[in-house]
Amino acid sequence: MLRLPEYPWESLAPYRATAQAHPGGLADLSIGTPVDDTPALIQDALAAAANAPGYPTTQGTAELREAIAAWFARRRGVPGLSPDAVIPTVGSKEFIAWLPLLLGLGPGDVVVRPTVAYPTYDIGALLVGATAVAADSLEELDPYTRARVRLIWTNSPANPTGEVASAEQLRAVVAQARTVGAVVAGDECYAELGWGEWDDPEGLRPGTPCLLSDQVSGGDHTNLLSVYSLSKQSNLAGYRAAFAAGDPALVSTLVNSRKHAGMIVPMPVQAAMTVALADDAHVRRQKGRYRARRALLKDALEAAGLVVDHSEAGLYLWTRDGRAGGAVDGAAGDNTTGHDAGRSDPSEQDSWDLVGALAQLGILVGPGTFYGEAGNGYVRVSLTGTDEAVARAAERLRTWR
């Protein structure tokens, strides 16, 4: 029997209990689930398509595939994408977890993912008996491992760090992958949520660099897939609405496999996706909400002596203790195993100490250790709390210490 690691978020239960006991109530900035309303035009489209007695199509309706292709041209700088080169998926997590299986990977094959990364990349490898390797470049791997690489995940903008890979960096990954014949799958679900140099409040230009753009791919989509989700930009996490696009031959194979396995997006959800992808105004409005929450939280974290690293895109602030030694006041447990003065190597305990200290303020965050050893010392602070929760958290942070 295959036994996967315990779902990591379960280990937050005692910290959640501590945060919930705060007199002012819980400010949940942990998992990152959207809390704002699904836009009315999308709800209306779902309701209008509710009479769906027949089976939906696995590859998606022609209208949906055309809407995805048009969205790639308008928002991702990828014109001319064939509607036959796209496929809707039951959320992006499902696709990430099952892609190694659908590609026919197994024991002896290697799946490469970023050094700080969403844990589902590793789970996908575990499900098929492949080896998951953390690396940001194939040059980090020994020749034997490199020769066995069959799938490379890129994640830009990154979860949890918020880092954005430049077109040049992505192009280098594609070039390396082509030397070993590996598929490159770009998890790009935060592409519309860029900040700083990537912020475009009017929505007049595409978001962060796309794996399928000519600047990255050279116009050749062979063995390339861009994976996207409407969960964050459109508040559709409950709809499980996502899609992948890229190499037409690869997509055709995936469609066939998914037909056999019954991996099909429900017809009403396909109709809702079609409407959502054609409307950029609701995305700009939602981004405005996140922009305001981000500014409030970032200022408050820094006022509390914490440091926000990277975080130039996405829905999270990648945060560590900025004081000498990194020890935190009021942390749960014994701090002697934490990041003591004079040490330069943050530990797993540092992350949990900071989670514990913030829980005592009634603020729940995620430990950076969920995302690999390179996340030691960090916590991930989500922007997806309500305005009220974010305001409560900011007020407590400003008066902390």
CATH number at residue 95: 3.40.640.10
- C-beta of residue 320 within 8 angstroms of C-beta of residue 354: yes
Q: What is the DSSP string of 345-401?
A: S--HHHHHHHHHHHHTTTEE-EEGGGG-GGGTTEEEEES-S-HHHHHHHHHHHHH--
User: Greatest CA span in the chain, whole angstroms?
Assistant: 66
Same domain, 293 and 262: no
By three-state DSSP, how is residue 174 classified? helix
**Do residues 153 and 169 make contact, with C-beta atoms less than 8 angstroms apart?**
no
Q: Is residue 2 part of a domain?
A: no
CB within 8 Å of 269: residues ≥ 6 apart: 46, 239, 240, 241
Is residue 234 within 8 Å of 246, Cβ to Cβ? no
How far apart (Å, rounded) are the C-alpha atoms in residues 362 and 350?
A: 19
Pairing of strands 241-246, 86-90: antiparallel
The beta-strand segments (E) located in 11-109 are: 27-28, 86-90
Lowest mean pLDDT among 121-135, 243-257, 326-340: 326-340
Q: Is 303 helix (H, G, I), strand (E, B) or coil?
A: helix
Q: Per-residue pLDDT tens for 152-197?
A: 999 999 999 999 999 999 999 999 999 999 999 999 999 999 999 9
* 211 and 333 inside one domain: no
Residue with tokens 């918020």: 162
Is the pTM above the cut of 0.85?
Answer: yes
- Are 322 and 236 part of one and the same domain? no
Asked if 174 and 230 sit in the same domain, the reply is yes
> What is the count of structural domains for the chain?
2
Domain final residue, candidates 222, 251, 278: 278
Give the residue from 278, 293, 328 where a domain finishes: 278
Read off the pLDDT band of 336 (50, 70, 90): very low
pLDDT, tens only, 20-56:
999 999 999 998 899 999 999 999 999 999 999 999 9
Residue 332 DSSP class: S
On whether residue 351 sits in a domain, the answer given is yes
Domain with 305 in it: 8-37+283-399
Helix axes 348-359, 13-20, angle to 10 degrees: 30
